[in-house]
Amino acid sequence: MGAYILRRLLLMIPTVLGIMAISFLVVQFAPGGPVEQALANISGQNASISDRITGSQAGDFAGQPGQGGNGASYRGSRGLSPELVERIEKQFGFDKPPLERFGLMLWNYARFDFGESFYRDISVIDLIKEKMPVSISLGLWMTLIAYGISIPLGIRKAISDGSRFDVWTSTVIIIGYAIPGFLIAIALIVLFAGGSFWSIFPLRGLTSPGFDSFPWYRQIADYFWHLALPITAMALGAFATTTLLTKNSFLDEIGKQYVVTARAKGLTENQVLYRHVFRNAMMLIIASFPGAFVGAFFGGSLLIETIFSLDGLGLLGFQSVANRDYPVVFATLYIFSLLGLVIALISDLAYMWVDPRIDFESRQV
């Protein structure tokens, strides 16, 4: 087991390197980078952003005539001095060759030094920490609730396959899956958050004003009061896949010969189901967990964060890509990749816990 874990940990290094290298290469050819945006803003397309990006540096050179040089390679640099272009390149770290920048980025990231955001006066790691509570809250509780309900429901549906309960629950979860999460979120707002009916739940943030002064029990209640609608909107669509996967996995195992043999030995249905069928049927559920968790934790909450005014990593990542805030883009990609690989390893280890017959030491990867 130890050798397998070591191999998997070592395999993470080239995997992350490959992800970062491909992403870095794509960025080099993407138009509208931070230098081009700064030059365009200085040229008058958006003076307010120009002031925020370059401060007084823009005023030093913007009025001088262009003299060619490095600025000729940037769209929007005509009429600006080469000194200004070089200063902006240095400000954003584009004064070095791409290979040197990539190597420096990897060295810094290996020490979890992500630098500072291009457009916010804050370090990237502090920015991620600031947004993390929202994403942790949405991803963790949504995953726990979805799996906590879907697995027992899927088992019950497998046991009562073809019954009235199976039919109407399948109808409900398929309809819930077919409706996009953002439409459910809007409907919940209209119904319960001051739309056209009741004003029961809040619409902004994870906590109420004065949260720190609340007693602990009120803090817990306030926290879940704010999460009720966004978690509901995210979880409804997640029930279908896990529930039907659980049901089909159990149905497949229930029809196998070892179940017939266990029943012939006089074991009760619960003993057959939970002692023999459960660990085999759960293999597919465990296999699907890493992707579901990472998707819920980071990628699946963008629209929910926007609708419910929750400032988390999903919204941060989208805004960073739109603004070409490369330090934030690459830092979040690096962290997401590492987390996904670690969760995949934990998923493999969970296989052994569910079924001790699995031998990791015989695997080569």
Summarize pLDDT for 306-349 with one digit per residue, the tens: 888 888 888 888 888 877 888 888 888 888 888 888 887 877 77
Q: Which two tokens stand for residue 143?
A: 């995953």
Tens of pLDDT, residues 260-287:
888 888 888 788 887 778 877 777 777 7
Residue 46: band (very low, low, confident or very high) from pLDDT cuts 50, 70, 90: very low
* Overall fold of domain 124-362: MetI-like fold (1.10.3720)
State yes or no: pLDDT of 227 exceeds 70. Answer: yes
CB 226 within 8 A of CB 207: yes
Please tell me the distance from the alpha carbon of residue 211 to that of residue 141, in angstroms, as a whole number.
Answer: 20
Say what the pLDDT of residue 50 is: 41
pLDDT number for residue 88: 65
- pLDDT range class, residue 355, cuts 50, 70, 90: low
CB-based contacts of 1: which residues, under 8 Å, 6+ apart?
352, 360, 361
173-194 pLDDT, tens per residue?
Answer: 888 788 887 888 888 888 888 7
CA atoms within 13 A on the CB side of 349: 14
Distance from the Cα of residue 238 to its chain's centroid: 15
The SS3 assignment for 94 reads coil
Q: How far apart are CA 34 and CA 43, in angstroms?
A: 14
The full set of domain ranges for the chain reads 34-95, 124-362
Question: What is the C-alpha to C-alpha distance for residues 114 and 143, in angstroms, rounded to an integer?
Answer: 29
As a whole-number percent, the residues of the chain with pLDDT over 90 amount to 2
How much is the pTM? 0.69
Lowest mean pLDDT among 74-88, 118-132, 165-179, 222-236: 74-88
Backbone angles phi and psi of 199, in degrees to 5:
-115, 80
